[in-house]
Structure 1
Amino acid sequence: MRLPRPEGVPAGRAGPGPVNRRTVPVVAASLAAVLAVGTGCGVLPVLLDGADRSASGDFQPGAAGIGDPYFPTYGNGGYDVAGYELALRYDPAAQRLDGTATITATATMDLSRFNLDLAGLDVAAVSVDGAPAEHDRDDDELVVTPAAGLPDGSQFTVLVEYGGRPEPLASRDFGEGGFHITDDGAIALGQPESASTWFPVNDHPSDKATFDLAITVPDGLAALSVGVPGETSSADGWTTWTWSEGTPMASYLTTLVIGDYRVETSTHAGRPMVIAIDADLPESGPAEQAMARTGEIADYLETVFGPYPVDAYGGIVVRDDRIRYALETQSRPVYGDVFFDRGPETWVVAHELGHQWFGNSVSLRQWRDMWLNEGFATYAEWLWSEHDGAATADEMFDREYARTDWALPAGDPGPAGIFSQAVYKRGGLTVHALRRTVGDDAFFRLLRTWAAEYRGGNVGTDQFVTVAERVTGQPLREFFDRWLYGDTAPAKP
């Protein structure tokens, strides 16, 4: 997830909270939409209450929201996306994005129509399996009605032709994020929502999919994204960059960064490594020094978490006052330059790389379990700090324990609290307290087991507790209740 600015950075440079999502009211429990529980389940056959029947029988429309308890209108029901393939062109002078999105999916119900999340952009045409489909807009929803119903279990392909001037999503509580237009390009980034500002998507982490991008920009600009870099080609003053992420991922883990960047491509541990630094930042400066340790940090984390779980390595450092955080975009995290104002800080690199295991590979089923992302990424910082000869994990634990507000829960922080310090710091405290409780051997065996058994899947806190008890052989539910949900400081183990 997104990492807010480091402590001590002036408030004018970076605010303490995240940006990036429009406010969505939490609906009552009487909602007809129900989110099923499962690992790596994808989007489930959630039905609209009182849905229309199609002329072909008992086909029904998929829901315009997946029913997440915190953000019920995020994502969509009725289908499971396998992959997104985007062919786009961005003109910075006109501030216009145009292109096509090809979406491969499987119906998870007898589907008469379905929604895609798409904010603001204009849709010229939609087809399903090659046949023209009716389409309409309902705020930030693209409503697609295929020529014929899609039977449960059937695979289908959606082609969307669209374009316009992208804009970020605004939220009263969290500011704005998503597609940011810059002087010479753009930065598309954010969590929990952002992808819908630049392509049609099922925008919830429970529907993970592969991602392929061909993006055409004026010659001289870099166009950066996630995954494995492909060939670049130029014609008539334009250059096309290609990227492919074959490890299914949550939609908020995509990014598009266009502008003047120093780009270095190499190979690390048999995988491509792409490091890009905003050209306005000094060469061999703190950002480059920190990024140069990306492979070293990932290699260390492999020793404690297990095999590196995604297709590539790297990082992108942007220089933009609106990007006051770092985000673990898959295989290639994006860092605001604010993190390197005080030197080549590597703790933030460890945090975002830790997410490649916890959050990216092993992903949330619901946003209420955010501590499973942030607690373990925070702990990756602590482990790296000790390995790198700085503060030990015990010292970090004692420091954070003393200044934690225990009235704020980590395990169910509320929609406005998913990026709170309780989720990050109390989450990290819970992880280290667990280590002290069960011992090092059982603890590190648990981390590797969790990362391996749920690789590529979606999880919740109950699943982690179950695995922890199985691997360690100890009853731990009371422990997790105290450390994640209690309102007083638990005794140190």
Structure 2
Amino acid sequence: MKKVLILTGTFLFLFIQFVFSQNILEDKYDVKQYILDLQISNTSTLISGNVIINSSVTATNIDTFVVDLIDTIVAGQTYMIVDSVFVNGISNLFQHYNELVFIPLITAIPQNQQFSVQIYYHGNGAAISQTNYKGIKKYNYIGIIHTTTFSEPTWSKVWWPCKQDLKDKADSVTFYITTDSTNISGSNGVLKSTDSLPGGKVKYKWETKYPTDFYLISFTVGPLSEYITYAPLPGVQDSVLLQNLLFPGSSYYQTHLEVINKTKQLLYLFSELIGTYPFKDEKYGYSVVGTQLGAMEHQTMCTIGYQAMDTTSTHYGIYYFWYVAHELGHQWFGDYVTFSDWNYIWLAEGFASYMEYVALQNLESQYKADYWIQNAQTETMTQPVGSVYDSFDYRLMYKKGAAIIHTLRYEINNDSLFFAVLRNYLSTYAFSVATADDFKQVAETTTGINFTDFFNQWYYGEGYPTFNINWSQNNDTLTIVSNQTTSISITTLFKTHFDLKIIYATGDTIIRLFQGTNNETYKIYFPELVDSIEMDPNFWLIQKNFIITGIEKNNISFSFE
């Protein structure tokens, strides 16, 4: 009895300490494998079972093991209760508090030693406002009740115990799902087995051998229908499996089948441009669920709303977004290479968004791609402030994030080199994590261009430039004066190239200039009589402009605005 009291006191002390040192404690081990073995219903957000976390000690030793798991968010509504804990197969004391499972080890485990922790638990993982509506969601779509999970950014702990550290990807994940035999399931990786159990139950075994971050692990369970096909990849002998959970009775079913066929084109295109689909030995696919819009890039199986699963959002007659291109792009940007910290989420959302543009440009038309990028730029400029760095704001993370990648492509001024940057970045940090500075370094090494100013103004900086351009022509000399102001004083100058379209009676010419100071004057030999000038005709920059024109001929001048 005294021993128990001493341990309880130790728990209280360590929990107070843990509030300030959670990362230090979790950094003491490296997750090698998650094995989830859960009872899951399609009609309830209740869940039960156990999770095995196989790890290796990275510190000198580890005497306390900690993982994330909610305790009580809302009593009787969203909560998890730990029933028991085993360390290397031996029952171990634990404390569950402050959304943590805290396990003092009987004997400290030395560096490089592998060990196993098994946590039995049960509870209700319902997604509610207090969890930012993340966790387990139950939907009823066309009379089909099903459950699924959304966990980004840090809500995996709502439904399973895990280490919520982006830098620690599990080397592999095995997920056993026990449910009613009328249900099918979808999850990460490959479906290895389906076993019938007594009492009208079935047990599915999903397994991925690819490194996986905690927030990308998911499930969908319900009486849906499976649709399987295959997609060829460039330079790869075997096609990749496309495994999908669909609703054949949905009025959108044919659209969903069209999306799957379009996904074959997208997989081929993206593989050509940025490198072979990284999870080709397992699968890609869609788990369609009963929300209208929204989607999540769960590794190897995207969870997507029934109306969001469209080719180019044609239900709306616009091309502001293309969910399926975006989520597929995430398989490279976000899943294959993950941002090392949520401050760098641009490396996922900005790039996945830009893959929408790339898809439209290559599979649809330049007109649609231009429409898309103009919307991104316009959305960015609805407010004069905001940095892409350290932002969860949709306008900045998705729209400005994509638009500055477009500008980077313009500055590189060579598409072969631009896509080489993307491929080199992805191959350098394959199945690992990266920072924005890591990407910058790869871009500089690949191109030989210094991007310090670019990142300081477009990524870390705020706002956008306005170009006030005054031009005049005297005989064959075209004089252009550019005065640049910015939308916010935090960033006082955007050093950038910019294009001007010079229009004259028999045609037009695009010239490229560079603005290195707020006020620049350019004198250009131009024998044609200029009618007008347009700024940034191909929509490369986030910018506003005002052009004041003037013509001087035979020393007679006039101007107009």
Q: Structure 2 residue aligned with 1:241, among 204, 209, 223?
A: 204
Q: What letter is aligned with 2:133?
A: E
Counterpart Cα distance in 2 of 1:245 and 1:92: 23
**Mapping of 1:41-440 within 5 angstroms?**
65-66=22-23, 76-92=26-42, 95-109=45-59, 110-119=61-70, 120-168=79-127, 170-171=129-130, 175-182=132-139, 184-209=145-170, 210-236=172-198, 237-269=200-232, 270=238, 271-278=240-247, 280-282=249-251, 284-310=253-279, 311-320=282-291, 324-340=293-309, 343=314, 347-391=322-366, 393-394=369-370, 396-405=372-381, 407-413=384-390, 417-438=391-412, 439-440=414-415
Q: How many aligned positions are there?
A: 424
Counterpart Cα distance in 1 of 2:128 and 2:85: 23
Distance 1:449 1:95, change over 3 A: closer
Counterpart Cα distance in 1 of 2:398 and 2:197: 47
Q: CA deviation at 1:259?
A: 1.2
Q: CA deviation at 1:450?
A: 0.6
Q: CA deviation at 1:258?
A: 1.1
Per mean C-alpha deviation after superposition, the further-off stretch among 260-269 and 82-91 is 260-269
1:474 aligns with 2:449: yes
Is contact 2:177-2:205 (8 Å) kept?
yes
Counterpart Cα distance in 2 of 1:348 and 1:181: 22
Q: CA deviation at 1:331?
A: 0.8
Counterpart Cα distance in 1 of 2:256 and 2:43: 29
Counterpart Cα distance in 1 of 2:287 and 2:249: 13
TM-score, normalised relative to structure 1: 0.79
1:451 aligns with 2:426: yes
Distance 1:164 1:399, change over 3 A: closer
Q: CA deviation at 1:165?
A: 2.6
Counterpart Cα distance in 1 of 2:387 and 2:351: 12
Is contact 1:325-1:335 (8 Å) kept?
yes
Counterpart Cα distance in 2 of 1:276 and 1:156: 36
Greater C-alpha radius of gyration:
2
Counterpart Cα distance in 2 of 1:247 and 1:51: 38
Deviation by residue 1:341-370 (Cα, 9 ceiling, x = unmatched): 865899211111111111111111110111
Distance 1:337 1:450, change over 3 A: same
Counterpart Cα distance in 2 of 1:431 and 1:95: 40
Distance 1:312 1:51, change over 3 A: farther
What runs of 5+ residues in structure 2 fail to find an aligned partner?
1-11, 71-78, 233-237, 466-493, 499-561
Counterpart Cα distance in 1 of 2:22 and 2:156: 16
**SS of the counterpart of 2:108?**
coil
What runs of 5+ residues in structure 1 fail to find an aligned partner?
1-49, 53-59, 68-74
Q: CA deviation at 1:64?
A: 5.8
Deviation by residue 1:402-443 (Cα, 9 ceiling, x = unmatched): 442263434324xxx414221111111111111111121221
Deviation by residue 1:270-295 (Cα, 9 ceiling, x = unmatched): 33321111355237432332133222
Counterpart Cα distance in 2 of 1:409 and 1:365: 21
The aligned residue for residue 16 of structure 1 is none
**SS of the counterpart of 1:116?**
strand
Is contact 1:370-1:411 (8 Å) kept?
no
Counterpart Cα distance in 2 of 1:351 and 1:80: 31
Q: CA deviation at 1:92?
A: 4.7
Higher-strand-fraction structure: 2
Counterpart Cα distance in 1 of 2:101 and 2:85: 10
Q: CA deviation at 1:127?
A: 1.1
Counterpart Cα distance in 2 of 1:62 and 1:151: 24
Is contact 2:42-2:183 (8 Å) kept?
no
Q: What letter is aligned with 1:431?
A: I
Distance 1:103 1:404, change over 3 A: same
Q: What letter is aligned with 1:84?
A: Y
RMSD over equivalenced CA pairs, Å: 2.7
Q: CA deviation at 1:481?
A: 1.6
TM-score, normalised relative to structure 2: 0.70
Distance 1:396 1:61, change over 3 A: closer
Is contact 2:43-2:147 (8 Å) kept?
no
Distance 1:187 1:403, change over 3 A: closer
Is contact 2:246-2:253 (8 Å) kept?
no
Distance 1:313 1:421, change over 3 A: same
